[in-house]
Each structure stands twice: as structure tokens, then as C-alpha cells.
Structure 1
């Protein structure tokens, strides 16, 4: 037991060497990540002192953050004296909570940062509530909630961004005989009634593994954000999907020209790696946008042409090229040609049934020809279905036809003025 001003606390402590491998990554990975990585993952934070951070994870009596929910097991991991120290504070009964919270407060006294997984919305608010009810105040610390960058990195490629899913997909770790999360509260309540702590052993291991996984994941994310093109956490280069995610992060939140350049390079490299087909279109779109933002319009047009050749299911690239040639290159004939190709792709997809969902909401028809442009669609304006759904803009055949008519009229006026 650990002595505190409010009483004694039952706790465990384990020490891990810095090169301890969890899954396929060492625990000390976060310590070797340069500061720019944390700035990229946390746009509002200018620096993150990982060497003085605490990794916190809870096991609780329920999922509510209300006054009736207790944290009966609090795990705290940190780098200390050349090792990774993991302490777990256990609540043996309700009356011990003041001592448990005092032990936690003492553990946080020297911390300068906080790392959690979904802790911003659950763990930390719950701890603040429990501390306040025991007349304690926890420190305000820079908070890295790993769930949010995890979603940025893997949401498009993985079916789930839960910690257990990331352990398997990213860390290569599979837990054997892990206790299901929904059983954990009842095991503690059973302990209160029977005094049998044996079923809680698996809960303590579960909590310990959560914290070790958080440390390993933080190192992976940090390396990916710091040097995405050369990073190889655990000896494995980033996948195309991961490069796409980092490229989007850097280009959408660029703080410098260096961020924008590196983001563009990530997006371009993602197309060369094993990027799944469903993600390629989004990568082309992000790369074209970033190049335009960087003032590299001609390169953006080249990317769009490559996308038009490789993506036969959507006319989005053709439409973007039509806009480029009309508004930037000032080549109306090329703009019309790309619009015609866009129409061909859209009509082919419509014929193949690609608009099934959109057609349930609306049935676009061409209105009768008039003197302002024969065949201009009546539904050129976006249409909403019963649930407010809209057709994808790149599949708006009516809008493409309208664009073609408009370009043909402009070309006709240019030819007429040139013949005078």
C-alpha cells in the first residue's frame, strides 16, 4: 500500500526498459520524436514535453461522467529515470476514493503533459469530477488525446479506430484472453460483494496493456507526422493510406511552406504505394487542391489528367480540367472537350446504375429546348430528396450539359467576332 494524507492506497508498479517491445514498437519511441510532429498532430499546441508526460487510462463503474461513476482503477505510465514506470491505483471500496485521488494528484505534481485515448471526452472529465468531489484540483496540462490523430491517420483505411483495432492493425499485437470491456464494471461490483479479487486480475492486465499500447502508438504517430516519407516505425514504411492521411493533415493545416511542400510530396508518394483503389480518387483530389494552393496550377492540371485516365467511374477530374482550361488557361475549346468527356463518363455511370441512390431522391429530366440553349436541363439546380440528400456534384449530368451549352455559345461568339 501507498500512504497518502487521506489514507493508504493499494497500488502496483512495473518498470520497463526503454527498448521494451510492445507489439513491434519500442516504448521509448515518443522520446525520439521531434517537436514539429506534435505541432502537426496538435494544431493548437506549440510544443509537447513527452519526456514529462503521463499516460492515463481508467477502468470505471460505468460509461457516464456523472457523479455516480467511479474510477476504480487508475493507470499512470511515464518515463522516469531511464525507464517506463507504470503505476496502477486500485479502489478497494468507495470510502478509499479520497486516498486514491490524493495518490493520483501526487503522481501528477511533476507532470507537464497528459496523454490519453479518448480521454478528452471521458477519462479526464471524469477524473476532474471525482477530484472536485474530494476537494482536490487536478493540474491543467497540455493534452494529447490519441484518438483524434488516430482517426486522421486510419479512419479511411480501418473499419474501427478503437484501441484494440489499432493494436492489431498498427502495432501487430493480438491480446489473448482479454477481458471484454463491458464485463469490467460488473467484475468490480462482484469483488465488493464477495471479496474475491481473482477475476480482477484480468482487468489489471487489460489496463496495463492499454497504457503500453498508448505509448507505442504515440511513438508511431509521432514518427509518421515528423518524417512521413522516410519514417519506418517498427521497420515498416508508412502505407499509402497513411501517407494520404498525413499529406491531407499537412496540406489542410499547413503552418509553413515546408509543411505544404511535404504534404504535397506525401500525397504524390501515396499514389505510388499500395493505396487502396477506393482512396485513390480522394488522393488525386487532395493533391490537385494542394498544388493549386501552392500556385502550381500546371502541375495540378497534370495530376487531374492522370486522374481522368485512371478513374473511369467519375467525371470529377474532367470537370476540374474544364474549369482550369476555361478560367485559367483561357482555352474554351479544350474546356468544351473536357466537358464532353465528363458528360460521357457521367452518362455511362448513369446507364450502369451508378446513380441509384440519387435517382431515388430525384429523377432529373431535360426540359424542352429554348432559345437560351437547347436541351438545358430543368434540374440543373441541386435537388433534394425526402431526407435532404443531394446528388454528387460531379454526377450532375444536367450541370455538365449546361456547361457545354454555355461554352459552345462563347465559342460561337468568339468565332463570329473573329470573322468580322
Structure 2
């Protein structure tokens, strides 16, 4: 999606200054640092633990990214944040006290030897969004970078990330601990949008990477970006030749990731706030929304979403299955029975539906004739499945035979009626 940076390209930095000048080390340390700051648009930040570079960007409350106004995040009701996290404790989540974090590191696998050489942290000041990127020119600047980040984190009670629970936050925690600076990145709330996006969009998208979400949800294609897997090697090259030019796409990549975190939060919230009318929802999303609402025990909204998903290709069978079980869970037997009849007729999880009907007829309505009929149909399907698919259905067939034997017994019918099938196990 992004362009590759050619590290061997001779780049005119200023008039008469080329990449080869960096490699030859002809610049003084002062001149080198001046050029790095100019090219990357950074400023030097002095801390008690040394100096590092940083970039500060501020976005007005009217700023849009990927078609989303960043300040709209404050229109998200508290209970919707709980749905995004699938945790009612997050109903107390406050975006005004949240920091959006993304890191660029020296390795993609993580571990104690992985450094976060560029740390992006975005947050709201009122309704303006401020984005700071902390950069270390070499490993000896890590304590200074972490000190600045630690001071910033004191102001916040929540973290928002994308795969941060598995990657960014563990790496930062490790770096803080190695530098004996505590663990300021651990906060009471951590909203990881990868988990939220996977729950909501997994039926629609084969990949829920941030790049895939940007493309599918926002029709956004980055210009001048760089693939994540190239980032470590570019930084290592910088450590050797101090040429900052190839780092520019990395700063852009990091900045875009954080802006997209805000936009994605607003987008997911829109789908959860008003799913049947939201332009954030595609056909398959309704099934996923139904699952989210069901898990949070918001049953009426779950039913609405499942009903919408019944006619949607790709998720229709799953929606029939989940909705029927939800009706059963809620004791809405008439609706459940009607749906199971429809499923059996249309061969949608037919064997499951027939067994559920058998339970209703046997135990609730005491209609043993119908119970026998649907159980026999379920047995026939089980035998066909065994023959067609070639895998064992023995336990399933055994349970169906037991059910049929019990139903026949209740009708006073002799057990020889079972001779139509194989011998009971």
C-alpha cells in the first residue's frame, strides 16, 4: 500500500549535501544534529536524563481524518464505550483522560532486546488533538525518551491502542522496567481496538489489520507510507549512517496510525450506537453486532441484529443458529419453534433444529407423535451425513436412538420399531 524507500538512493538534502556525506561522516556532530532536526521537523527536548528529539503536531477541533472529525469522539455515549470494550467497567471510560499510543520498534517479535525508537502519543486538549512523537537518535537516548513519556502519562488514566495489549504496551513496560522507571504505561483502562475491530468486522474482512480497516471502512490509501516490516532495517541503517531522510515515512506511518486510532474509535462507536441505521455497517456486520449485544446481555438489540443478518449471505446460517438459541435462552418458545421449523425446512442446521423441536414436542407440548417424527428425520440426516462426509457420527446417532427409544416408550410402542436403524450402541 505504501511505497518502498530506496536506501541506496542519493538524496539531495540541501544544496550540495548528499546521502554520501552522511555515510562518510564529514559533518560535525552539531551540524549532523541540525540536519536531522531540519529534515525530520523535530525539536530537541532536554530532560534530567539527557536529550532526545520530538515532533509536536496539533489538530483543531474541525480537523477530519479519513472522513471522520476527531472531536466527534466526545459524542460517544459511555455505555457504547463499554460495548466497544465488551466490558461494562468501561462505561466510566473518559476520552479526555486517554492517551492514544503507537510505537515503532527495532523488531517485530518483541522481547527484552526490542527498543521502541519512536513512540507516538496522541491526546485531546479540550477538543483539539495533540500528537507528540518521541524519537531517540541512538540507544543512549532511551532514558530521556522514557522520562518524557512518563511525565506525559501522569496526566492520563486510560490507554487506547491497536494490538497494544499484545505488543506496544508489553514492550514499553519492559523498557521502563529495565531502566528502573516503574511501569507508568499500565493504566486502569486499556482500550485495544484490534480486539474490538476483530469482533465487529471478522465476518466481513479476511484481515483486520489497521491498513485493511482503513481501506475497507474509510477508503483510505496512504501516500508515502512504508510497510511495517521494513521499519526496523531502516532505523538500523540510520544508526550507522545518520541519514534521516529514509526515516520521514516512518514518522508519517506512526502519525497516521494514531490518527486512524481516533477515527476507528468513532467508526466502531457509530456502528454500535445505531446499528440498523449506521453507514458503518455492512451485511455481515449485523451478525457480529448481534453477538456483541448478546454477550453484553442487551438482548433486544441482539435480536434486531440477528433478524437483519438472517437474509445476509455468508452469515445467514450462523444467525439462524444463534437467534434460535437466544430465543430459547429467553424462554420465547413460540419464536424459537417457528425458527427451528424454518431451519429444518430450508436445511439450515437442520439436524440441530430437528433435535430442538424434538425436545419441545417431548418435554413441553407432550406431542410424542411429532417428537417421534422429527427425531426420525434427524436420524436419517445423521446417517446421510455419516455416509456422505465419511466421518464418524456414532455418538450423535447413539444419542438420537436413545431419544427415539424414550419417545417410543412414552407412546407405549414396542422397541422393535427401532429395527429400521442399526442396533443401538
Instruction: Name stretches of at least 5 consecutive residues in structure 1 with no aligned partner.
Output: 365-378, 382-395, 415-420
Question: Is 1:30 matched up with 2:73?
Answer: yes
Match of 1:16 among 51, 54, 59: 59
* 33 and 323 in structure 1: CA distance in 2 versus 1, 3 angstrom threshold: same
CA distance in 1 between counterparts of 2:141 and 2:410 reads 81
1:283 offset after TM fit, Å?
0.9
Deviation at 1:92, TM superposition (A): 0.5
Say which of 226, 238, 247 aligns to 2:281: 238
Give the aligned partner of residue 149 of structure 1.
196
The answer to whether the aligner puts 1:48 opposite 2:84 as a matched pair is no
Q: Quote how far apart the aligned CAs of 1:413 are.
A: 4.9
Residue 263, structure 1, aligned to residue 306, structure 2: no
For the aligned residue pairs, the C-alpha RMSD in angstroms reads 2.3
Tell me how far apart the structure 2 counterparts of residues 242 and 319 of structure 1 sit (CA, whole Å).
Answer: 29
Does residue 2 (structure 1) correspond to residue 45 (structure 2)? The answer is yes
Any conservation in 1 of the 2:118–2:136 contact (CA below 8 Å)? yes
Question: Which residue number corresponds to residue 171 of structure 1?
Answer: 218
- TM (normalized to structure 2)? 0.80
Supply the distance in 1 between the matched residues of 2:385 and 2:313 (Cα, whole angstroms). Answer: 21
Structure showing greater relative contact order (alpha-carbon pairs closer than 8 Å, 6 or more residues apart)? 2
Q: Within the alignment, does 1:300 sit opposite 2:324 as a pair?
A: no
Distance 1:287 1:204, change over 3 A: same
| Corresponding position of 1:191 | 238
Distance in 1 separating the partners of 2:413 and 2:339: 31
2:111 is the alignment partner of 1:96: no
Post-superposition CA distance 1:306-347 (Å, at most 9, x none): 222333564222222222222222222222222233344445
Change (3 A) 1:114 1:237: closer
Kept in 2: contact 1:22–1:173 (CA 8 A)? no
The separation in 2 between residues aligned to 1:310 and 1:78, in whole angstroms, is 52
1:78 aligned residue: 123
User: Contact between 2:80 and 2:91, CA under 8 Å: does it hold in 1?
Assistant: no
**1:173 to 1:349, Cα distance in 2 relative to 1, 3 A:** farther
The verdict on how the C-alpha distance between 1:116 and 1:339 changes in structure 2, with shifts beyond 3 A counting, is: same
Structure 2 Cα separation of the partners of residues 50 and 346 of structure 1:
53
Are the aligned partners of 1:322 and 1:338 in contact in 2 as well (CA < 8 Å)? yes
How many residue pairs get matched? 367
Is 1:224 matched with 2:271?
A: yes
Report the secondary structure of 1:75's partner residue.
strand
Deviation at 1:287, TM superposition (A): 1.0
Superposed counterparts of 1:386-401, under 5 Å: 396-401=396-401
Question: Which ranges in structure 2 are unaligned for 5 or more consecutive residues?
Answer: 1-43, 415-425
* TM-score under structure 1 length normalisation: 0.81
